[in-house]
Structure 1
Amino acid sequence: MQFYKDENVELILGNCIEKLMDLNEKSVDMIFADPPYRLSNDGITCKSGKFACVNKGEWDRSGGFENDYNFNRKWLEACDRVLKDTGSIWISGTYHIIHTIAFALMELGYHIINEIVWFKPNAAPNMSRRCFTASHEVLIWVKKSKNARHKFNYDFIKEFNGGKQMRSVWEIPTTPKREKTFGAHPTQKPKQLLFRCIMASTDEGDMILDPFCGSGTTGVVAVENKRNFIGIDIEEVYLELTKKRIQQIH
Structure 2
Amino acid sequence: MIPSFYKSPNNDFTLIQGDCVETLSKFKFGFDMVFADPPYFLSGGGISCQSGKIVCVDKGAWDIPTTPEDLDAFNLRWLLAVREHMKDNATIWVSGTHHNIFSVQQQLLKLGFKILNVITWAKTNPPPNISCRYFTFSTEFIIWARKSPKIPHYYNYSLMKELNGNKQMTDVWQLPAIGKWEKTCGKHPTQKPLSVLARLIQASCEPNAWILDPFSGSGTTGIAANLLGRSYLGLEKEEEYLIMSRSRRIELEDTKIRWEYLKRLEKNKIISISDNVIVSESVEAYYNIPWI
What TM-score range do you get, normalising by the shorter chain? Answer: over 0.9
Q: How does 1:98-109 map to 2 (within 5 A)?
A: 98-109=101-112
- What letter corresponds to residue 46 of structure 1 in structure 2? C
- Give the secondary-structure state (helix, strand or coil) at the position aligned to 1:197: helix
Which consecutive unaligned segments of at least 5 residues does structure 2 have? 254-292
Q: Which runs of 4+ in 1 moved over 4 A?
A: none
Distance 1:13 1:61 in 2: 21
- What letter corresponds to residue 231 of structure 2 in structure 1? N
Q: How does 1:1-250 map to 2 (within 5 A)?
A: 1-6=3-8, 7-25=11-29, 27-250=30-253
Give how far 1:147 is off: 1.4
Give how far 1:180 is off: 0.4
- Give the secondary-structure state (helix, strand or coil) at the position aligned to 1:22: coil
Distance 1:63 1:2 in 2: 31
Per-residue CA distance 1:172-212 (angstroms, 9 max, x = gap): 01000000001010111110000110000111110001011
Worse-superposed segment, 32-41 or 64-73: 64-73
Could you state the TM-score of these two structures normalised by the residue count of structure 1?
0.97
Give how far 1:158 is off: 1.3
Please provide the CA RMSD for this pair.
1.0
- Give the secondary-structure state (helix, strand or coil) at the position aligned to 1:2: coil
Distance 2:126 2:24 in 1: 34
Distance 1:121 1:5 in 2: 35
Check whether the contact 1:23–1:82 (CA below 8 A) recurs between aligned residues: no
Give how far 1:22 is off: 2.1
Distance 1:23 1:37 in 2: 28
Could you state the TM-score of these two structures normalised by the residue count of structure 2?
0.83
Give how far 1:159 is off: 1.4
Distance 1:53 1:230 in 2: 31
- The alignment-based identity, stated in percent, is 46
Distance 1:45 1:174 in 2: 15
- What letter corresponds to residue 2 of structure 1 in structure 2? S
Worse-superposed segment, 31-40 or 5-14: 5-14
Distance 2:58 2:173 in 1: 27
